[in-house]
């Protein structure tokens, strides 16, 4: 099976009340770690790459690594651009083999967001590529751009129908209180999501796939491992898993996870180096990290997403 777009996987996820994991990739071990878990659980998956990660890994390497994963696993895999900043970047990804792109016009005013999203949709749909748009703004850091919690904005449900109709997007990312990074709530603050907004959006757009960004749960075992082996992630706090499960059972068809992978990858390296101070072979350092990625993704598939055995 070649790389797929997200149409079929989102339709099945919506109807089945589960979500597809969209995991950020930027090197070979992360790609391998993710697909190993998907293979073991017979799960479809979205491998997504931000424009800065694409620059880091080189555009050609990203496509070739993901194509290798498709060939090796035979799974339905979509290669998706995460937070596409403009038309040119989306076009470049589509032209180089991505099967899905996000155009993130959420920082623009409503009309400009529609205009740039519509332009990407026209180019993408002529080539069989699916497009994710965004309405509302999450707090946190993405692609080195930081949005403060005060500036973040919940999605306005009154805008979603017009946005979907005028742009033709295939899925919509909304802001309901999640945020990017490992520090999603202030210390002592009770994690809360605006499920009322999610429900209102899905009433207005029945059957339409919704996307949740900033959905890492900041798994305590890896935060503890980082602390135990000389690092510090004090006050890291993520989205509780029961809330993610609730979202996946509703209209959310795509759940984005990056920070949880980063934390596990780093924790495993710290542990390995602390326990094996004489090691200097990168393969010895990165094997535990790759295994940690597999463990995180398997956990997500089984206990958060519900995407096991959905191929
Ligand atoms: O939402 C953003 C992702 O976590 C990607 O982050 O731009 O640092 O690769 P990045
Ligand atoms: P996290 O930082 O919660 O992993 O979110 C990742 C994300 O939304 C990528 O687009
Ligand atoms: Zn995001």
Tell whether the model's pLDDT for residue 146 goes beyond 90: no
Q: Give the position, in ligand 2's atom list, of the atom nearest the Cα of 140.
A: 2
Q: Give the position, in ligand 2's atom list, of the atom nearest the Cα of 24.
A: 9
The residues pairing with 177 across neighbouring beta strands, listed in sequence order, are none
Please report, rounded to a whole number, the percentage of residues in the chain having pLDDT higher than 90. 94
Q: Which residues contact 121 (CB under 8 A, 6 or more apart)?
A: 131, 167, 168, 169
Tell me how far the alpha carbon of residue 276 lies from the centroid of ligand 1, in angstroms: 31
Whether 1 maps to a domain, the answer reads no
Whether 91 maps to a domain, the answer reads yes
Q: pLDDT tens across 251-279, in order?
A: 999 999 999 999 999 999 999 999 999 99
pTM of the entire structure?
0.96
Q: Virtual CA dihedral for 24, 28, 32, 33, nearest 10 degrees?
A: -60
pLDDT of the residue at 130: 99
pLDDT of the residue at 138: 86
When divided into structural domains, the chain yields a total of 1
pLDDT of the residue at 151: 64
Comparing 72 with 142, which gets the higher pLDDT? Answer: 72
Testing ligand 1's pocket by substitution, the residue of 80, 83, 213 carrying the most ligand atoms inside 8 A of its CB is: 83
Which band of pLDDT confidence, cut at 50, 70 and 90, is reported for residue 16? very high
Is the distance from the beta carbon of residue 82 to the nearest atom of ligand 2 less than 6 Å? yes
Whether 2 maps to a domain, the answer reads no
Instruction: Please compute Rg for the chain using Cα positions.
Output: 18
Mean pLDDT of the chain: 96
Is the distance from the beta carbon of residue 306 to the nearest atom of ligand 2 less than 6 Å? no
Tell me how far the alpha carbon of residue 140 lies from the centroid of ligand 2, in angstroms: 9
Is the distance from the beta carbon of residue 181 to the nearest atom of ligand 2 less than 6 Å? yes
User: Quick one: average pLDDT of 230-240?
Assistant: 96
Taking alpha carbons only, the member of 169, 245, 244 closest to residue 213 is 244
Q: Virtual CA dihedral for 64, 103, 129, 81, nearest 10 degrees?
A: 20
Active site residue 109: no
Is the distance from the beta carbon of residue 256 to the nearest atom of ligand 2 less than 6 Å? yes
DSSP string over the chain: -----SHHHHHHHHHHT--EEEEE--SHHHHHHHHHHHHHHT--EEEEEEHHHHHHH-HHHHHHHHHHHHHHH---EEEEEEEE-SHHHHHHHHHHT-SEEEE--TTS-HHHHHHHHHHHHHHHHTTT-EEEEEESB-BEEETTEEE-TTT-B---GGGHHHHHHHH--SEEEE-SS-BSSSB-S-TTPPP---HHHHHHHHHHSTT--EEE-S-----HHHHHHHHHTT---TT-B---HHHHHHHHHTTEEEEEESHHHHHHHHHHHHHHHHH-TT---HHHHHHHHHHHHHHHHHHHIIIII--TT--
Q: pLDDT tens across 63-107, in order?
A: 999 999 999 999 999 999 999 999 999 999 999 999 999 999 999
Only one residue has tokens 């491998």, namely 47
Residue nearest atom 1 of ligand 2, based on CA coordinates:
214
pLDDT of the residue at 147: 66
User: Quick one: average pLDDT of 164-172?
Assistant: 98
Which band of pLDDT confidence, cut at 50, 70 and 90, is reported for residue 149? low
Would you state the structure tokens that stand for residue 21, as one six-digit string? 């994991």
Would you state the structure tokens that stand for residue 38, as one six-digit string? 């998907």
Tell whether the model's pLDDT for residue 144 goes beyond 60: no
Tell me how far the alpha carbon of residue 55 lies from the centroid of ligand 3, in angstroms: 17
Whether 311 maps to a domain, the answer reads no
Residue nearest atom 5 of ligand 2, based on CA coordinates:
214
Is the distance from the beta carbon of residue 155 to the nearest atom of ligand 2 less than 6 Å? no
Catalytic residue among 82, 170, 258, 260: 82
Tell whether the model's pLDDT for residue 145 goes beyond 90: no
Is the distance from the beta carbon of residue 54 to the nearest atom of ligand 2 less than 6 Å? no
Q: pLDDT tens across 276-285, in order?
A: 999 999 999 9
Whether 243 maps to a domain, the answer reads yes
Nearest bound ligand to the CA of residue 255? 2
Which band of pLDDT confidence, cut at 50, 70 and 90, is reported for residue 1? confident
Q: Which residues contact 230 (CB under 8 A, 6 or more apart)?
A: 270, 274
Q: Which residues line ligand 1 (CB under 6 A)?
A: 24, 50, 52-53, 82-83, 142-143, 180, 258
pLDDT of the residue at 141: 61
User: Quick one: average pLDDT of 126-141?
Assistant: 91
| Dist. CA 119–CA 125, nearest whole Å | 10
Q: Give the range of the structural domain holding residue 140, as residue numbers without chain letter.
A: 7-305
Whether 173 maps to a domain, the answer reads yes
Whether 151 maps to a domain, the answer reads yes
Q: Give the position, in ligand 1's atom list, of the atom nearest the Cα of 180.
A: 1
CATH number, domain with residue 44: 3.20.20.70
Q: Virtual CA dihedral for 48, 50, 53, 55, nearest 10 degrees?
A: 120
- What are the angstrom distances between the C-alpha of 220 and each of 68, 191, 224, 238, 297? 32, 15, 6, 9, 15
pLDDT of the residue at 152: 75
Phi, psi of 186 (to 5 degrees): -75, 150
pLDDT of the residue at 91: 98
Taking alpha carbons only, the member of 219, 215, 131 closest to residue 176 is 215
Tell me how far the alpha carbon of residue 48 lies from the centroid of ligand 1, in angstroms: 10
| Dist. CA 280–CA 20, nearest whole Å | 37
Whether 310 maps to a domain, the answer reads no
Comparing 149 with 7, which gets the higher pLDDT? Answer: 7
Query: Please, what's the largest Cα pairwise distance for the chain?
Result: 60
Q: Give the position, in ligand 1's atom list, of the atom nearest the Cα of 213.
A: 1
């Amino acid at each position: 099976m070649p790389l797929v777009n997200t149409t079929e996987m989102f339709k099945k996820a919506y109807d089945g009340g589960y979500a597809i994991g969209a995991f950020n990739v930027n090197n070979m071990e992360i790609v391998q770690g993710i697909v190993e878990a998907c293979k073991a659980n017979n799960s479809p998956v979205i491998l997504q790459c931000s424009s800065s990660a694409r620059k880091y890994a080189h555009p050609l390497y990203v496509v070739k690594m993901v194509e290798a994963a498709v060939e090796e696993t035979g799974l339905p895999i979509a290669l998706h651009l995460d937070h596409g900043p403009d038309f040119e970047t989306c076009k470049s990804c589509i032209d180089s083999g991505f099967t899905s792109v996000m155009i993130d016009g959420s920082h623009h005013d409503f009309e400009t967001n529609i205009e740039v999203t519509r332009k990407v949709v026209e180019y993408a749909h002529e080539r069989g590529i699916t497009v994710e748009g965004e309405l509302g703004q999450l707090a946190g850091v993405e692609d080195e751009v930081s949005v403060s919690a005060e500036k973040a904005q919940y999605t306005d449900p009154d805008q979603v129908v017009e946005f979907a109709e005028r742009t033709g997007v295939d899925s919509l990312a909304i802001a309901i209180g999640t945020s990017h990074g490992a520090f999603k709530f202030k210390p002592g603050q009770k994690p809360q999501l605006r499920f009322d907004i999610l429900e209102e959006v899905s009433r207005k757009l029945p059957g339409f796939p919704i996307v949740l960004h900033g959905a890492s749960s900041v798994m305590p075992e890896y935060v503890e491992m980082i602390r135990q082996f000389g690092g510090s992630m004090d006050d890291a706090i993520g989205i509780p898993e029961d809330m993610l499960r609730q979202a996946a059972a509703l209209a959310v068809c795509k759940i984005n996870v990056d920070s949880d992978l980063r934390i596990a990858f780093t924790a495993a390296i710290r542990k390995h180096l602390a326990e094996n101070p004489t090691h200097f072979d990168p393969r010895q350092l990165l094997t535990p990290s790759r295994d940690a990625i597999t463990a995180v993704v398997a956990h997500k598939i089984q206990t958060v997403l519900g995407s096991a055995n959905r191929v």
